[in-house]
Amino acid sequence: MGEVNPSGPVPIDSIFIYRPDKRAEVWRFLFYMVLHAGWLHLLFNLLVQVLVGLPLEMVHGSLRIGVVYMAGVLAGSLGTSVFDTDVYLVGASGGVYALLAAHLANVLLNYNNMEFGIVRLIGIFIVASADVGFAIYDRYASEQLGPPVSYVAHLTGALAGLTIGLLVLKNFEQKLHEQLMWWVALGVYAACTIFAILFNVSNPEP
């Protein structure tokens, strides 16, 4: 693909990249996460996985955090296929934003047992806002040197991280209102996922 730079190149011919014209190849909805568009994209995702994902994994275990991460990856591609239908998708941003949002779920579930919970949320909000802002700018304001890359995966990945996080993360003080929150989270994620799958089945071509 040529010389690697901070934001490219995008490996558009890879069998793993999510492409709107190849939605029938269902593995692309997950395996796009192993590709990245440039070293800056890869570095950011790796740093967040280490700095955000590792602390969550130490508390909640590898399996729970793995479920959150993969739910974000799937939500990223499904959301892009519905709301940003003309773009290609690479990177682990859906999973990364699921980890970021899972911190919010962790605070909602275990606020009384956490130190500096609000400070953590503010830090995560700043990092996420800056990255989403850059992604939106890169999509609409900067010169496009290749096919457009979606930022919707960031947002839908975060939604998945919040809802699945509420479902699977450990709750050290179960309360009645949190049981209701569990069912709401399950309903939101299930409804969004089923809608996106049906949308793709009924609209095989972009």
Q: How far apart are CA 59 and CA 183, in angstroms?
A: 23
Instruction: Decide: 56 and 111 in contact? Cβ < 8 Å.
Output: no
Q: How far apart are CA 160 and CA 67, in angstroms?
A: 10
pLDDT band for 160, please (50, 70, 90 cuts): very high
pLDDT band for 57, please (50, 70, 90 cuts): very high
Highest mean pLDDT out of 3-17, 51-65, 175-189: 51-65
Question: Between helices 152-168 and 93-110, what is the axis angle to 10°?
Answer: 40
Helix (H) or strand (E) holding 100: helix 93-110
Q: Of the ranges 14-18, 39-43, 133-137, which one carries the lowest mean pLDDT score?
A: 133-137
Q: Of the ranges 55-59, 131-135, 177-181, 200-204, which one carries the lowest mean pLDDT score?
A: 131-135
- Verify cis geometry, omega within 30 degrees of 0, for the bond prior to 11: no
Helix (H) or strand (E) holding 27: none
Mean pLDDT of the 176-193 span: 85
Mean pLDDT of the 74-88 span: 90
- Residue 136: per-residue pLDDT: 72
Catalytic residue among 77, 81, 93, 150: 93
Q: Is 154 a catalytic residue?
A: yes
Q: How far apart are CA 77 and CA 64, in angstroms?
A: 21
In the chain, the amino acid numbered 1 is M
Mean pLDDT of the 124-150 span: 68
**Does the pLDDT at position 29 exceed 70?**
yes
Q: Of the ranges 6-10, 68-72, 86-90, which one carries the lowest mean pLDDT score?
A: 6-10
Catalytic residue among 36, 41, 103, 154: 154
Instruction: Decide: 102 and 161 in contact? Cβ < 8 Å.
Output: yes
